[in-house]
Amino acid sequence: MNRIPQFALLGAVVLSLGGRADAQSQASSAEPEVTPTTHLKSVATIPPLPKGKSTILGGSIRDIDPVLDRFTLNIVGEKPMRILYDQRTQLFVDGKRISLNQLHPAEHASVQTALDGTKVFAISVHILSQLQKGDYSGQVQSYDPTSGNLEIVGERGGDPLRLKVSSSTTFERTGQGSSTPTPAGPGDLQPGSLISLQFDPDGKGRAIATHISVLATPGSTFVFSGNLVSLDSRAGTMMVLDPRDNQTYQIGFNPGSIASIQAIRPGQHVRITAAYDGKRYLAETVTAE
């Protein structure tokens, strides 16, 4: 029997290992086989937009959280609202679409929203770099005649609207306050006063009041004449529809101090003298006509 030299066996082993290494190297460098199933699994599925009814909300954007994909929208006269967003949300600044990663706090934004389950989702966000014209009604929270800074709160509360009163701002008294003999002016902007106003942008992101209508100031006395819509003696409130301005007013009263209140009924025409105390109208006299 012929014997194979040991160095020949060693060479065969080396060649065999080298061949296996080359084969493994080629196998590892080759493209992995991708089946249709694995390809579909590797692509993230983007869910459709929420199908609920959309609502457009306006306010200022605050507290942007890019990790949790959410921000807070501060709405004048309302409670701040937390809104979610993701890659489906479209972002525009002055009508020009930009990348969503450029979302930043903004004073003037319009957000198209829809309910996604129990959460509010932003379909689109439109940011204005400059304030637009507008009007607003509410109660004076503070006014600084030196700086002209005015803050008013809407009927539903929430964050105040901040704007400036300038020397060109015009004033008038309307509704029940129009009978007051003294002319309207900045002196009427006392805390608690009820006003409505129009404002314009000043080009610097601030609002300037152009016209202010004063509806009531604390301590003023008003005369209401109209149909008694409702009367709640237990709560001490009544509703009167005044045909002079076609407005309905809620007026408080103290049943123990107004004896005539027991004789009137809803549907009657009444005349009421009431004082505005900065929070409500409080009846002083009530007579049926």
Average pLDDT, the chain: 79
Q: 146-152 — which CB contacts under 8 Å span 24+ positions?
A: 150/189, 150/209, 152/195, 152/197
Percent share of the chain, pLDDT over 70: 76
Question: Which pLDDT tens digit goes with each residue over 132-164?
Answer: 667 788 899 999 999 999 999 877 666 677 889
Domains of the chain: 55-127 (2.40.50.320), 134-216 (2.40.50.320), 221-288 (2.40.50.320)
* C-beta separation of 203 from 222 below 8 A: no
Q: pLDDT at position 149, please?
A: 92
Q: Split the chain (289 residues) into runs of 10 and give each run's mean pLDDT.
A: 38 38 45 44 64 83 92 83 93 86 86 90 85 78 93 76 90 68 87 90 72 90 91 91 85 84 89 90 90
Question: Which pLDDT tens digit goes with each residue over 67-114?
Answer: 999 999 988 767 889 999 999 999 998 778 899 889 999 877 889 999
* C-beta separation of 231 from 185 below 8 A: no
pTM of the model: 0.53
Q: pLDDT at position 118, please?
A: 87
DSSP 8-state secondary structure symbol assigned to residue 261 = G
